[in-house]
Amino acid sequence: MKTWGFLTAVMGIAAVSLVVVGAQVQLQPYSGSADYQAYCSACHGSEARGDGSIAKSLKKRPADLTQMTKRNSGVFPDEKVFKTIDGRGGSAHDADMPSWGEVFAKSSESAGPEKSAARIDALVKYLQTLQVK
């Protein structure tokens, strides 16, 4: 009987822990790094150099995303990068690249324009960390 009581107590603690962990997951902001690996790396490569696994099959080679600051006179073009990832609103978007703003806005993880924008912003901030010095 003592064993059963102990197991019940442990299971109760585990259930409370799962609720707390689940709540923490919901409170965390979007991960630019995780989204990059999930949505961008197949084309742009795991290190963002434009050499992803499907890059050769595309009409136009994907951009080397580590050179954006260098190509923009030493300033990271965050607004342009945001608009390019978003792909809506008449940006200079490549036809091979999906309009991620539309995709993210329809996703259950980031439904709606505000959450989609927050997710793209996390990607932009991550890309800024990949710039060559």
Residue 88, pLDDT score: 79
- The answer to whether the beta carbons of residues 102 and 110 sit under 8 Å apart is no
What is the sign of the dihedral through the CA atoms of 59, 62, 68 and 70?
negative
Query: What is the architecture, at CATH level 2, of domain 31-129?
Result: Orthogonal Bundle (1.10)
pLDDT in 10s for each residue of the chain, 133 residues: 454 443 344 444 444 333 444 444 444 578 999 999 999 999 999 999 999 999 999 888 899 999 999 999 999 999 999 999 998 776 555 667 888 988 888 888 888 888 899 999 999 999 999 999 8
Residue 96, pLDDT score: 74
Q: d(Cα 80, Cα 128) in Å, to the nearest integer?
A: 12
Domain ranges (residues) in the chain: 1-29, 31-129
